Each structure stands twice: as structure tokens, then as C-alpha cells.
Amino acid sequence: MRRVVAFNNVSVDGYFADAGGGLGWVNHEDTDAEFTAFVAGNAAGGGMLLFGRITYDLMAAYWPTARAQQENPVVAQGMNSRPKVVFSRTLHSAPWANTRLVGDDPAAEVRRLKREGEHDMAILGSGTLVAQLTDERLIDEYQLVVNPVVLGTGRSMFAGVTRLVRLRRIESRPFANGNVLLRYTPVT
């Protein structure tokens, strides 16, 4: 059965987006070759990408562009070529290559997708989707890159979760740029 992995950058105080929804605070210091290789390796992996509407709009506005190809060709290639599902009740189309639009019941669709295929699925950003699937116990792994910044306020990817979720750490990995990868699986 395929797994669902939620991947997000978070601030030290636990926000995945600032109060305005922005990500300009995310630390992608190019001088850290190990972190750059980690990001490229994640992007090059197989599997399907899952998005909520807000994250989809941000990603679709950048990754298919010539600017993305120039600034980060390996990640752009991975983002553009992978199959994608966007969950939205307000979008009428999803023109980014290899994208399918689902308008209803993300939990039911993810349950179906978990039974099909062989490669894991990754949620990038998409706090509302992460919270919905967390409540339904459909996320198999959380990968959080803690960035050395305090925002003071912002959006939590777990806003709206109604049940306690205990996690077990399976990896922690510091990078020279100050970021720390934390990987967790839910305790059942």
C-alpha cells in the first residue's frame, strides 16, 4: 500500500507560512551543498504530489516557468513531471502538466489512491489538507524542516486537527545552514 508523506518547512515556533501566507522566510541557503542535494533528491523522487488549492496556485505559478528552470532545474523537472492531484472546491481547472482536480472528499480520494500504485504520495505545504488527512489518520510520515527563524504569528499546518496525534521520531538531521530535518511517524 502506498504511503502519504507530508513535507513542510516550518519556523522554530511551528508555522509553515507567515501571517500573510508567504514563504519568503524559508532558508534555502545555496552555500549548503548537503541541503541543496537533499532538496534535489526529494524533488527527483517518484510518486504523486498532493496539493490544496492555495499551495497548488503558488507552485503552478512558479515551477513551470523559465525562471524556475534556470534557478533550480532539477527540482523544476521533478515538480513538472510528477503526477499531481489538487483538492479544491473552487478551482474549475488545473492546467499545470500532469494535474488532476478533485472537488470533493479528500479523505475518500486519498484512501483510494493509497490502494493504487506503488510510489508514495507527498503533500507539500497545503496546511488545510494536512490537517484534514491527519484527522483521518491517513498521513504515514511527517517530514518537517525546521528553519532557524521565529515568525511570531502565522499558519499552523495542524490548525483544525480535532484529535491528539502522538508521533515517533524516526530521524533528525541537522544541516550546516541551520535547518534541521525531523521525520515522524504516527504512533498507532
pLDDT at 15 over 90: yes
Q: What does pTM read for this prediction?
A: 0.92
State residue 182's pLDDT score: 97
Question: Domains in the chain: how many in total?
Answer: 1
| Rounded CA separation 180/145 (Å) | 5
What is the average pLDDT across 85-97? 95
| Rounded CA separation 23/41 (Å) | 21
State residue 186's pLDDT score: 97
Give the confidence band of 44 by pLDDT, cuts at 50, 70, 90. low
Q: Are 8 and 16 in contact (CB under 8 A)?
A: yes
Q: Are 59 and 67 in contact (CB under 8 A)?
A: no
| Rounded CA separation 104/142 (Å) | 24
State residue 87's pLDDT score: 96
Q: How many degrees, rounded to 5, is the angle at CA 179 between CA 153 and CA 49?
A: 80
Q: Say what the alpha-carbon torsion angle 110, 116, 118, 120 is, to the nearest 10 degrees.
A: 0
Task: Please write the tens of the pLDDT for every residue from 143-154.
Answer: 999 999 999 999
Give the confidence band of 121 by pLDDT, cuts at 50, 70, 90. very high
Which residues form the domain of 31? 4-186
State residue 43's pLDDT score: 66
State percent of the chain over pLDDT 70.
98
Give the confidence band of 33 by pLDDT, cuts at 50, 70, 90. confident
pLDDT at 177 over 70: yes
CATH number at residue 81: 3.40.430.10
pLDDT at 99 over 70: yes
